[in-house]
């Protein structure tokens, strides 16, 4: 099934018309050029597959790519590109890591190294302050609320 177009023949009969000969030479040059470019692209793809992947250690903080996550933002365009910071709890294999995710996220916590990005603290932005550690009450994380800001109660009729 499907359509298989005939290839341009490699050997042509000699003609006495100069424009045909020029066109045949041009087609031959284009074919050789595209063959070379295809081989170059193939080599680049092989190099990309063989690149060294980032390795992480237990306890290291990482960002998680948000491209496959559906966490509840109004649209993908408004969602952040990366979620985090998450701590690596266990190294399961050479390219898979178990992360400590939020309790509200009901997703499998094992991710491939291509979905992780190392956390780097820079001098320009100063130290990154993450949220304080939550209190564990009956096995669930709870935070203490200091104040409610910007709440306007509804008027009773």
Q: What are 60-72's pLDDT values in tens digits?
A: 999 999 888 877 7
Residue 100 corresponds to which tokens in the numbers above? 């400590």
Residues ≥6 apart with Cβ < 8 Å to 103 = 140, 141
| CA separation for the pair 84, 47 (Å, rounded) | 30
What average pLDDT does the chain have? Answer: 83
Looking at residue 126, its pLDDT comes to 60
Q: What are 89-100's pLDDT values in tens digits?
A: 999 998 899 999
**Residue 105 CA, distance from chain mean position:** 20
Q: What is the pTM of this model?
A: 0.52
């Amino acid at each position: 099934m499907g359509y298989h177009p005939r290839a341009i023949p490699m050997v042509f009969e000699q003609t006495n018309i100069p424009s045909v000969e020029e066109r045949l030479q041009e087609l031959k040059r284009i074919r050789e050029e595209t063959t070379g470019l295809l081989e170059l692209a193939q080599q680049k793809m092989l190099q990309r597959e063989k690149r060294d992947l980032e390795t992480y250690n237990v306890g290291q903080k990482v960002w998680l790519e948000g491209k496959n996550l559906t966490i509840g933002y109004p649209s993908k365009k408004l969602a952040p590109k990366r979620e985090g910071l998450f701590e690596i709890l266990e190294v399961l294999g050479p390219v898979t890591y178990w992360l400590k995710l939020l309790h509200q996220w009901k997703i499998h916590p094992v991710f491939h190294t291509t979905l992780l990005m190392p956390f780097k603290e820079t001098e320009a932005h100063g130290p990154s302050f993450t949220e304080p550690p939550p209190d564990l009450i009956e096995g669930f994380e709870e935070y203490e609320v200091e104040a409610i800001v910007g709440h306007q109660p509804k008027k009773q009729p």
